[in-house]
Structure 1
């Protein structure tokens, strides 16, 4: 059978068929059979399609679209003609009502005024833009100045606050010192009134020379003196009564009273502080800056 096919097929087609059979690794007869079966299937599928029906539906749809386009075109032409006619009519009516050389002076004046106002507004806008540009040129300089000024004011306020705290503390201590000095003076005055120059301490019986006291306390036992009790009898001796004096606000009964030099050189908040500036010094610094 292969020989008969070879005789019936052209040489070129036979060669192509042999090559396809070799590539598919099948016999030439089998490959030819497959080709015939495929062709048959294609023929059957084509027979199932109703080409006339499909073409007919497409043709009908195209006809409807053409009719719709024609209708829209006609409608558009009618509207264009109507608008053209209306424009011509309005122009004729306007020409009939107004003279050929008529004008609109009010409208021209308003237009000129509007143009002038627009020009002035544009010039003002340019001037404002120039001012803004000049203002932003030293913007950073102004910010730096304000920041430095604020820092300087903060520093001055801090110094002033520390000075106030220091002055309050020193004032309280000075008041306590003055009170104790006044107590010594009162004690000496009382002893002088009774003619007492020395007396026994009511706490430790030690002899105390009243005129040498720097504070109203016993130099031996550190108990505070409250009063002078004159001698009783010919052989008796004067006595310096002891007790607790009322403490001032912010002061304990056993607190040591500083000297004036210690008050002026004492530290603020436990740290070495510069001498507190006076209000006059602070005001003078502010004026200079």
Structure 2
């Protein structure tokens, strides 16, 4: 029935209804119902321009302003927190990587995250400017606020996901650096005693330290933890096996969860009521 009625509308009005339905991911009938509700509300206000009704409208506008201000403050805090965490993770990564080693992918992620934070800042500033200009068009302002809130939710979700990705990248880099240092220590100990090869402490296979890429036996995957020089004239050097101390990435004080939604202890990208 509503579809038949919409066919009777002027083309401009029908196009507007269909466009709004597409933007809101709903059907034209819902848009028409909302438009009718707004019309009835405005018509009732025109028939009853009493001071009581005007006071109620003022109170509603004040409530919207307060809620938007609270959203701005909350977003400012979240954006600042994400920016600080991204910078700290970048510093940790730069400190752990060798001087001649680069991570272009990681740098691109950091730049993208910083740009997302700047975009969110600009969005909040634009929202504040529109609010300062007043509520000359009440319906337009409410529609803009809804769209802005949805956009900011998406940007917050993007920032949280970027921080989680950076944390995972930092852990990978830290693990690689930890393994490289372990191999360097084994080679240094072997060179000190004039040895190049040693037997694995688990499988007794001969391991060439010059070809060792990880602190693990290439034959049995046992983890090497120490180098024991040869004892006696016919003895051979041994690579002792065991477990390395637990690896830390230097970010324990600001641990980032694996789930982006837990980054701010709030729901990220949640839906807002129309």
Structure number with larger C-alpha Rg: 1
Question: Fold-level match, TM-score > 0.5?
Answer: no
Band the TM-score falls in, shorter-chain normalisation: 0.3 to 0.5
TM-score by length of 1: 0.38
Larger RCO of the pair (alpha carbons < 8 Å, separation 6+): 2
